[in-house]
Structure 1
Amino acid sequence: MALNFHQLHIFYTVADRGSFSAAAQALHMTQPAVTMQIQALEEYFGTKLFVRSTKKIELTEAGKALMVYAKRSIDLVKETDQAMSRFTHMLQGRLLLGASLTVGEYILPRLLGPFNQAYPNIAIQLKVMNSTQILEEILKHQLTFGLIEAQVVHPDVHTEPVLSDELKLIVPNGHPLTESEDVTMEDVLRHPFILRERGSGTRQVMEEELSRKGINEENMKIVMELGSTGAVKSAVEAGLGITFLSQTSVKHELTLGVLRLVPIRGIRFERQFYATYSKSNLLPISAVTFLSFLREKDLSQWL
């Protein structure tokens, strides 16, 4: 029997997940099939790789040594996929993306067109949901790749920044704040606010930056909290209040002149959007290609 990457990947996943059953779920395999591959690997090396007990499994000294090389092999395959993705213009397949609301509704649609021109044979399926739902689906292996508005800290999930964004103060056309060339946060707090719901990525970025500036949200005149960016934009356009939104999400309204962007002296609401995926699962080449597209292209030309 020759050593193969598939067995190393199974071994790494078992060690990483801490059980054969969890590894089987992650790899979409049956538990007996995982056990069989580990036994074959142990026969190849002529030594036990795991100490098995009723409660848990632990690596033997041989297993700990192999773990180093298994991880190195997996990382090398990932790097190889990334390096070769730029040459795979005839790549075929399906790209299943999960994206949080702002990313999925306002940013990705502008990027998927150029990506589709470069890789016309990749069929794209986009699921728009909140960041928590994306994380849950990745952990359940129902989704392989997601783009979210906040960094996730989870032992089984990798996140990396791929896009920059900035929230801006958005007001209706003709609002008094548009008449001043030097607007402070003190000026802004005199006006009623319409905000995204608490817990949304947009609201979180606003809250964190205001807190850093020593501004308590209780000092804001919040007259409405709405569950979508579209609803917030409509309410602001109707003159019901002002808000903080991603500049990308109001590009159309700014062009039409129904909404205005007002700079605030001494404060910026900057944030990152993150790619997230399971640490133990290898991304399909379609997802690797899209991730390389986000990393390497000048996205500002489309946003």
Structure 2
Amino acid sequence: MALNFHQLHIFYTVAERGSFSAAAQALHMTQPAVTMQVQSLEDYFGTKLLLRSTKKIDLTEAGRALLPYARNSIDLIRDTDQAMSAFTKQLKGRLQLGSSLTIGEYVLPRLLGPFGQEYPHISISMKVMNTAQIMEDILNHQLNFGLIEAPVNHPDMHMEAVMSDELMLVVPSSHPLAEKKSVTLDEALQHAVVLREQGSGTRLVMEEQLKKKKIDPVSLKIVMELGSTGAVKSAVEAGLGISFLSVSSVKHEVALGLIKVVKVSDTKFQRQFYSIYLKSALLPISAVTFLTFLRERDLQQWL
């Protein structure tokens, strides 16, 4: 009997999840099938890998020795899929992903067209929602992966930076700052500010940069907090205040002269967009191909 990667994957998932039932749910298998595959792996090595009890699963010494090799085998398969996806132009499949608001509304629509031209047989299903919802759907196996605007820390999630972005100062076209080529951060913050709601990726990036500049976000003259980038843009356009938004999200309004972007001379609000997916999951080739597309293409030509 040859060593079976599928069995290594199942063993790793049981070890990470801590029970056969949790692993079965994660792998969309029955619990007896998971148990049988682990037993077959133990038969192959001729030693026990897991100590079973009514409360939890513990690794034997052999199981602890095998665990990093199982993890490496999953990484190797994922890296192999990624490397070969560049040569596979006739891919078929369904790409299911979740995206946070700014990425889903303003960034991905400009990238999905070029991706679809290159891989016309991959159909795409995208949910636009907040980061917490994306993580919940990934953990429940409703989504393959997600794209989010701020880093998260979860023991079951793999996170990787795949795109860069920058927040810019945006002001009403009739605002006193609109006539200036650049302003300092202190100058900008003398004015009324319209912001995204607490907890949004855009808000977190802005507040982290303010704290680095020794500025307490509470000191801002916040006149309104809104739940979407579109609402913030409308408020700025109406003259209610200034804001800091992704440069990708305001191109249309700037082109129409509805709002203006003003350079902040002493501060840059730069950030990364991240992909997240389960550590124990093997992404479908359609997802691997899309993530490779994001990493390796010059995305600015479309943004």
Instruction: Give 1:230's aligned residue.
Output: 230
1:286 aligns to what SS in structure 2?
A: helix
Deviation at 1:190, TM superposition (A): 2.1
137-146 or 242-251: which moved more? Answer: 137-146
The AA in structure 1 aligned to 2:83 is A
Alpha-carbon deviations, 1:84-108, whole Å to 9, x = none? 0011110000000100000000000
TM-aligned CA deviation for residue 182 of structure 1: 4.3
Question: Is the Cα–Cα contact under 8 Å of residues 148 and 274 in structure 1 kept in the other structure?
Answer: yes
What is the rounded CA distance, in whole Å, between the counterparts of 2:260 and 2:231 in structure 1? 17
Please name the residue that 1:203 is paired with: 203
Q: Deviations over 1:158-186 (max 9, x none)?
A: 00000111111101112111223441222
CA distance in 2, matches of 1:66, 1:289: 29
| Alignment correspondent of 1:14 | 14
Match of 2:97 in 1: 97
Contact kept? 1:20, 1:35, Cα under 8 Å: yes
Map 1:19-38 to 2 at 5 A: 19-38=19-38
Deviations 1:225-265 (A, max 9, x none): 11111111111111111111001000111111111001112
1:182 and 1:91 mapped to 2: Cα distance?
47
Query: Where does residue 55 of structure 1 map in the other structure?
Result: 55
After TM superposition, list the pairs within 5 Å mapping 1:261-276 onto structure 2: 261-276=261-276
Normalised by the length of structure 1, the TM-score is 0.97
Equivalence for 2:213:
213
SS at match of 1:230: helix
Identity of counterpart residues, as a percentage? 70
Q: How many equivalent residue pairs?
A: 303
1:281 and 1:186 map into 2 onto residues whose CA distance is 46
> 1:19 is aligned with what amino acid?
S
2:15 maps to a residue whose letter is: A
| Aligned positions of 1:250-265 closer than 5 A | 250-265=250-265
Runs (4 or more) in structure 1 with deviation over 4 Å come to none
Gaps of 5+ in 1: none
- Single out whichever of 173-182 and 258-267 deviates more from structure 2: 173-182
Q: What stretches of structure 2 of length at least 5 have no aligned partner?
A: none
- Map of 1:70 onto structure 2: 70
Match of 2:249 in 1: 249
Aligned partners of 2:136 and 2:181: how far apart in 1? 45
Task: Specify the alignment match of 1:150 in structure 2.
Answer: 150
1 CA distance for matches of 2:181 and 2:6? 62
Whether the aligned pair in 2 keeps the contact of 1:189 and 1:219 (CA below 8 Å) is no
2:210 alignment partner AA: L
1:153 is displaced (CA, Å) by 0.8
Matches of 2:243 and 2:159, distance apart in 1: 29
Q: TM-score, normalised by structure 2?
A: 0.97
